[in-house]
Amino acid sequence: MPPRSNAAASGGTSSTLPAIDLPDDMGVCACGEASRRAFDNSAPEYDSLVGQEELFMGLRLLRWWLLGKSEGRVLEVACGTARNIDYFRAAPDGATEPSQGVTSLTLVDASQGMLDEARRKARERSTSRGALAEVRVVKASAEALPLDDGEFDTVADTFGLCSMDDPVGALLEMQRVCKPGGKILLLEHGIGTWEFINGLLERSAPKHFAKWGCWYNRDVDAIVKASGLRVVSRSRWHFGTTYVYECEPASKAELDAIRSRRGG
């Protein structure tokens, strides 16, 4: 299926509305510019292109189930067209505890075309029942988030690691901006548990990337392990090609050690 967007970009702009070695193709890749172009080009039709397939595969239910765990100040990385915006449960007025729901939502993506669609949806949500109190839209790379350490209670990413230049680096950034003990929620696709399916993915991956800016044959488990994330729960669907993770960030000392080993 087409991925959620997050191509690499330098810098960041925003607007506010009411521990293992990886193979080269699973580490840093020079795919950001191609990914960004693909997402910019597909943005206006993106939702209609992926809608039927997501419905058939039950991905809407997985999005709803996972993102319903979001609470407090929420960051969504590689937000794409904001397909998830209706799955975030708004906190009631006057809420004082993160567990009461989402108090603010920050949407980050590197594709301007995708962010234009996300901004439109955020405006529509602001006038609907159950509107989120604050939605912020930020253009930035997932690998270099222009956000403060420990700023968020929850960080979410759905189908974004496949299109990132450095997916491990992106997960390190997600952990940096997540508060200690906070939630990191991941819904991703990658290699499966059946060799036959993996062979199909391997052969079709270059063509898929050229069209969608996504490598859908990455080893998600290896990427998560390399980032140091503390896994709370994990499940796999669709012959193992769909991954659902609930994690907590590693300690600052652990993250610093991983960055040091990576030369960052």
Name the pLDDT band for 133 (thresholds 50, 70, 90). confident
- 88 Cα distance to chain centroid: 14
In the predicted model, is pLDDT for residue 187 greater than 70? yes
Domain annotation for the chain: domains and CATH numbers: 12-262 (3.40.50.150)
254 versus 97: the higher-pLDDT residue is: 254
In the predicted model, is pLDDT for residue 226 greater than 50? yes
- 233 Cα distance to chain centroid: 17
Summarize the chain as % helix, strand, coil (round to 5): 40, 25, 35
- Rounded to whole angstroms, the Cα distance separating 76 from 74 reads 7
In the predicted model, is pLDDT for residue 185 greater than 90? yes
pLDDT of residue 243: 97
Encoded amino acid at 128, one letter? S
pLDDT of residue 196: 87
pLDDT of residue 43: 54
pLDDT of residue 52: 61
Name the pLDDT band for 35 (thresholds 50, 70, 90). low
Average pLDDT, the chain: 82
Backbone angles phi, psi at 132, to 5 degrees: -75, 140
If one counts every other C-beta atom within 10 angstroms of the C-beta of residue 88, the result is 23
188 versus 12: the higher-pLDDT residue is: 188
Q: Give the mean pLDDT of 195-224.
A: 83
54 versus 205: the higher-pLDDT residue is: 205
Q: What is the pTM of this model?
A: 0.80
Instruction: Give Cα separations from 43 to 4, 59, 207, 216, 247 (angstroms).
Output: 10, 19, 19, 19, 30
pLDDT of residue 14: 42
pLDDT of residue 32: 61
- The share of the chain scoring above pLDDT 70, in percent, equals 77
pLDDT digits (tens, 9 = 90+) for 44-83: 565 555 656 666 567 889 989 999 999 999 999 999 889 8
pLDDT of residue 2: 44
pLDDT of residue 132: 86
Name the pLDDT band for 125 (thresholds 50, 70, 90). confident
Burial class (CB in 10 A: 0-12, 13-18, 19+), 56: exposed
pLDDT digits (tens, 9 = 90+) for 248-260: 999 999 999 999 9
> What tokens appear for 102 in the block?
């989402």
Name the pLDDT band for 37 (thresholds 50, 70, 90). low
pLDDT of residue 26: 36
